[in-house]
Structure 1
Amino acid sequence: MTDFLLFFFVGAIAQLVDGALGMAYGVISSTVLLSFGIAPAQASASVHAAELFTTAASGTGHILNRNIDWKLFWKLVPFGVLGGVLGTYVLTGLSGDVLKPYIAIYLGLIGVFLLVRSFRHIPRKPIPPLVVPPLATAGGLLDSIGGGGWGPIVTSGLLGAGGQPRYVIGTVNSAEFLVALAVSLSFVVALITGHWEDAPDLVSNAFAVGGLILGGLVVAPFAGYLVRVIPQDWLLRAVGMTICILSVTQAYQLIG
């Protein structure tokens, strides 16, 4: 029960930040799971299973509030799915112990990136069409390998390219549901075909996944309100600092 409440709290905080900024649910959740000693592939599979529920709730809220650019949505989805499937294939074919140091470094870099990004002015201009495919592919790839990265990579990239925050956040959040679905199905296929050789008993992680799901679902409706009342740069700095601290903690555990 203690573990469930802990992950409920983590899922709630992660979803509040993700719904307000269009990023960080997967990064925060996977970082906490990894800090508990869970293997990278299992952490990523768990987070994406939880995201099937939280992104559906968040995406529904953005649809109701008309925060989605549907043209951008259908440009992001196919490349995000492609990157996510490729990342799953790579992740399940390697040993978790080999990947842990690189995942810690990756998450640390994401944290630093978010901090730096919060101090930069976001220009507003049309998003160049050629930016979307590589950005979505990279976001899906890193999201699958690291258990989080779709939002930080894609949302920040589109905002930096001049996209309007309201529509970028709403569109990226909604597209994440289909990316998470593709990644989750890829983990299932890898498990069934035997490609995921060191696959653990996923039921053993049920309390963590359940906590992440319920915490995210409870706070998802309030994310839109946070966008209006809390400055985005404050939230961005807060999550960047949190991820950096968790990444350093994880690195310390690996060294120890």
Structure 2
Amino acid sequence: MRKLLILALVGLAAQLIDGSLGMAYGLTSSTLLLVAGVAPAAASASVHLAEIGTTLAAGVAHWRFGNVDWRVVTRIALPGAIGAFAGATLLSSISTESAAPWMAGILFTLGAYLLVRFARPLRTDRVGGRLRGRFLGPLGLVAGFVDATGGGGWGPVATPALLVSGRMEPRKVIGSVDTAEFVVAGAASVGFLIGLGTEGFLLPTVAALLVGGLIAAPLAAWLVRIVPAQLLGAAVGGVIVLTNARTLVRSAELDGPAGPAVYALLAAGWLAALVLAVRALRRTHRVRAEAANAAPALAAPADVAAGNAVAAGHAGPAVVAAASASAFDDAVPGELAVTGTANPR
């Protein structure tokens, strides 16, 4: 019972991270199961079966909070399902450990790019552009395959790629990736069922992870909506870098103090990026506030010019009417101007 409670808490924490950052549910859960001695295929199968429920809840929550771009979801979900089914079938018979360092290197590079990108003021002129299907299709296929073979990877592959494109808000990237993962998790589970049979699924573990994830899903969807894009992007980049650094350090066989030194250096870089992101966010807010305060000052000269035009007799009917209405509003109490009669005091 104690073990199941711990697994439920892990599922809650993993879904909270995944729902707010768009990744790490499968990675966190699979890592724990592997540490506990579960076979890689069984660990991935159990996590994906639990993800059917957690991603459904997360998708509904993200949809209610307006975090989903359905065009993106439909274009990455089907290729992702195909890749996940193929990956699950493959993992049921062979290991993919040799490919881990290469994939970790790609993800590490994308994460580092995100740290640099979101540490500076964001450009908003590109947000809202359309992502092409020839980009989304292959992305979904690769992300689904990596997700099934690695026990997690849909978010770490799809989320940074969409963020780097600069065509979507971070919250919509996360919401769309989480929503599409429901289809991917279902396809992977079918593949594992065919390759491993029902004995490949650890049902008590699945139930514990599912309960924790269902509790966290609505909270994560709300959190991603209120967290500023600047901080969210920097946080995602740091998670990607530190997550994949572990694989790279192991593959490089860095023993002794070298490994901890690398982690400390990367953590310091992440902290610096977050500080820069906060400063950039404050600067953006200050610029917007100054622009909002300057708007009334710019409108005042226009009113004066209209009044002068009326006095000189050079104004058209529309300007005269506007100036007359403005003068009437200034001379008559507000209640009388609206209703035509003054309320008794």
Classify the TM-score, shorter chain: 0.7 to 0.9
Q: Is residue 120 of structure 2 the alignment partner of residue 116 of structure 1?
A: no
C-alpha displacement of 1:113: 5.1
CA separation in 2, counterparts of 1:249 and 1:46? 27
More deviation in 67-76 or 214-223?
67-76
Give the length in aligned residue pairs: 241
- SS for the counterpart of 1:119 is helix
- SS for the counterpart of 1:181 is helix
Query: What amino acid is aligned across from residue 179 of structure 2 in structure 1?
Result: S
TM-score (norm 2): 0.62
More deviation in 26-35 or 38-47?
26-35
Aligned equivalent of 2:6: 6
Equivalent pair of 2:114/2:164 in contact (CA under 8 Å) = no
Aligned equivalent of 2:36: 36
Q: Is residue 190 of structure 2 the alignment partner of residue 185 of structure 1?
A: yes
Equivalent pair of 1:56/1:177 in contact (CA under 8 Å) = yes
Counting only pairs closer than 5 Å after superposition, residues 137-176 of structure 1 correspond to structure 2 as 137-164=141-168, 165-176=170-181
Equivalent pair of 1:35/1:246 in contact (CA under 8 Å) = no
Identity of aligned residues (%): 37
Query: What amino acid is aligned across from residue 91 of structure 1 in structure 2?
Result: L
Equivalent pair of 2:17/2:23 in contact (CA under 8 Å) = yes
Check 1:214–1:66 CA distance in 2 against 1; reply closer, same or farther (3 A cut).
Answer: same
* Deviation digits for residues 98-131 of structure 1 (CA, Å, limit 9, x no counterpart): 54x4476478558745752541316745424321
C-alpha displacement of 1:238: 6.0
Higher relative contact order (CA 8 A, sep 6+): 1
Query: What amino acid is aligned across from residue 159 of structure 2 in structure 1?
Result: T
Check 1:248–1:69 CA distance in 2 against 1; reply closer, same or farther (3 A cut).
Answer: closer
Equivalent pair of 2:21/2:236 in contact (CA under 8 Å) = yes
* Deviation digits for residues 37-95 of structure 1 (CA, Å, limit 9, x no counterpart): 2111101101101101100100011121222222221111111011111101211122x
CA separation in 2, counterparts of 1:2 and 1:184? 27
Q: Is residue 219 of structure 2 the alignment partner of residue 214 of structure 1?
A: no
CA separation in 2, counterparts of 1:53 and 1:113? 32
Uncovered stretches (5+) of structure 2, i.e. residues with no partner: 119-125, 252-345
CA separation in 2, counterparts of 1:202 and 1:167? 34
CA separation in 1, counterparts of 2:10 and 2:102? 20
Aligned equivalent of 1:195: none
Counting only pairs closer than 5 Å after superposition, residues 1-256 of structure 1 correspond to structure 2 as 1-94=1-94, 98-99=95-96, 101-102=97-98, 105=101, 109=105, 112=108, 115-121=111-117, 124=127, 125-164=129-168, 165-192=170-197, 201-202=199-200, 205-227=202-224, 228-229=226-227, 231-233=231-233, 235-236=235-236, 239-240=239-240, 243=243
CA separation in 1, counterparts of 2:204 and 2:235? 28
Equivalent pair of 2:112/2:241 in contact (CA under 8 Å) = no
C-alpha displacement of 1:208: 2.5
CA separation in 1, counterparts of 2:70 and 2:101? 34
Check 1:79–1:138 CA distance in 2 against 1; reply closer, same or farther (3 A cut).
Answer: same
C-alpha displacement of 1:163: 2.7
Check 1:71–1:220 CA distance in 2 against 1; reply closer, same or farther (3 A cut).
Answer: same
Equivalent pair of 1:31/1:246 in contact (CA under 8 Å) = no
Check 1:206–1:218 CA distance in 2 against 1; reply closer, same or farther (3 A cut).
Answer: same
Aligned equivalent of 2:272: none
* Deviation digits for residues 212-238 of structure 1 (CA, Å, limit 9, x no counterpart): 111111111101232214731454266
CA separation in 2, counterparts of 1:226 and 1:144? 27
Q: Which has the larger radius of gyration?
A: 2
CA separation in 1, counterparts of 2:36 and 2:247? 12
TM-score (norm 1): 0.81
